[in-house]
Amino acid sequence: MTIQLGQIAPDFEQNSTHGSIRFHNWLGSSWGMLFSHPKNFTPVCTTELGEVAKLRPEWDKRNVKPIGLSVDPVEAHHKWEDDIEETQGAKLDFPMIADPDARVSTLYDMIHPESDPTVTVRSVFVIDPARKVRLILTYPPSTGRNFSEILRTIDSLQLTDARSIATPVNWSPGDPVVISPKLSDEEATRQFPQGYSTLKPYLRIVELEKSGQ
C-alpha cells in the first residue's frame, strides 16, 4: 500500500511498550508522529529515540504525540529502552510499537525490498487530528533523522492551517510568510492590516508578528 498526503492514515491495533494500541483512538484530538526504525539495538536509532524523548516539551507545545515502531517484539523494546536511557540520558515516555509480523510496516509501506527486505526504512508520518497524513519523509537506514526539520514542518502545517498563507524556502517560526494567491488584494488587506509587500501579483510577503499574531 502506498500512503499519500491528504489520505486518512491507516488504522491498526498492535502491541506496544504501552500495551495494545488502537492507533486512531490513541491519537485522540492530537497530532501524531509515527516513525519507524530498521531494528532494535542499532546505533543511529538509539540516538534518534533519545532525541525524541528529550524533545518532549516541543511535542507537547504542538499537541503532537510521538510513537515509534520496530519489527522486533515488545520484550526487546523494553530491553532497548534501558540502553537508550543509559547512553542518551533520556527515558522513553512514548510508545514503541512491536511489529514482528511486519503488519504495520507493510500497511505503511515501510519495507522497501530493494533497500532491504528484512528491515524498515526510516519512515516519518505526521498525521493531523482529522487523521490525515500531512508529511511523509523516508530516510535510508544509515542516515539519522533531523527532528528540528520535522518540528519546523509541523510549525508550518499548524500555522498555514490557521491562515491563508504558505511558508517560503528555509522559513523558521517568526520569519515572513507568503500570502495565498487565492486571496484578492482586497481580502489580503483585510486579513493583514499591518501591510504586505507585493513582489509579483502571485508573490506577496507579510510579517505576521506585526499583527500581534
Pairing of strands 177-179, 203-206: antiparallel
Distance of CA 106 to the CA centre of its chain: 19
* 22-33 pLDDT tens trace: 999 999 999 999
| DSSP β-bridge partners for residue 178 | 166, 205
- Catalytic residue, from 9, 27, 45, 151: name it: 45
C-alpha cell at 99: 511489529
The pLDDT of residue 113 = 61
C-alpha cell at 110: 515501510
The pLDDT of residue 83 = 93
Which CATH number is 13-144 given?
3.40.30.10
The pLDDT of residue 212 = 40
Full 3-state SS string of the chain? CCCCCCCECCCCEECECCCCEEHHHHHCCCEEEEEEECCCCCHHHHHHHHHHHHCHHHHHHCCEEEEEEECCCHHHHHHHHHHHHHHHCCCCCCCEEECCCCHHHHHCCCCCCCCCCCCCCEEEEEECCCCEEEEEEEECCCCCCCHHHHHHHHHHHHHHHHCCEECCCCCCCCCCEEECCCCCHHHHHHHCCCCCEEEECCEEEECHHHHCC
- Taken as a whole, the chain contains a residue count of 213
CA angle 136, 118, 40 (to 5 degrees): 80
* Exposed / middle / buried, residue 47 (Cβ in 10 Å: 0-12, 13-18, 19+): middle
The pLDDT of residue 95 = 96
What integer is the mean pLDDT of 182-207? 95
- pLDDT tier for residue 213 given thresholds of 50, 70 and 90: very low
Average pLDDT of the chain, as a whole number: 91
Is the domain defined by 163-211 classed in CATH 3.30.1020.10? yes
* 171-194 pLDDT tens trace: 999 999 999 999 999 999 999 999
* 91-139 pLDDT tens trace: 999 999 999 888 998 899 887 666 665 666 689 999 999 999 999 999 8
The pLDDT of residue 119 = 66
The pLDDT of residue 126 = 98
C-alpha cell at 6: 491528504
pTM: 0.91
Answer yes or no: is pLDDT of 1 > 80.
Answer: no
Residues of the chain with CATH 3.40.30.10: 13-144
Is 93 labeled as catalytic in the residue annotation? no
Residues of the chain with CATH 3.30.1020.10: 163-211
Q: Dmax of the chain from CA atoms?
A: 61
- pLDDT tier for residue 168 given thresholds of 50, 70 and 90: very high
The pLDDT of residue 209 = 67
